[in-house]
A = this chain, B = another copy of it.
């Protein structure tokens, strides 16, 4: 999949998780999803952070296709690979007002309270509890800054 083939998720808009466990996916992100021929949004618990990874059908298809060609259907290797992508993911429907209803397990895993932050990551975006994300945001900023400095030093 070439870089040009998709619109990237960018920025870090904030949103609200209401009493009915709904969040409104930012309109900007919804446009990207519909451009991927995705009715809803695929979502799963991130493996390494307390957040939810969200992506469209393009990403799901690309990963699934690669995995399907690599592992025959009825093998244990297939099962482990399929689990992390497919079993852990849910295809959540987006309603006409742009909202999805989050399963309780997702809310618990990411520790979501009322305020959530959407983090654009190119071909996917993440949903974080806003308070939990604040320090992570600073970490990532520092890491990116350090890398930029190193790159600059190496070039001189």
Report A's interface with B, CB cutoff 8 A.
2-4, 7-12, 28, 42, 46-49, 53, 59-61, 64-65, 67-68, 72-76, 78-91, 119-124, 140-141, 143-145, 147-149, 152
Copies of this chain, whole number: 2
Q: Chain B CB within 10 Å — which of A60, A83, A124 has the most?
A: A83
Given A87-B120, A119-B87, are A4 and B140 neighbors across the interface (CB < 8 Å)? no
Q: Within the complex, which residue of B11, B42, B84 is in contact with A89, where a contact is CB–CB below 8 Å? A: B11
A7, chain B: closest CB distance, angstroms: 8
* Inter-chain contacts of A148 with B (CB < 8 A): 47-48, 84
Would A76 and B48 count as touching, CB distance under 8 A?
yes
Closest residue of B by beta carbon distance from A84: B144
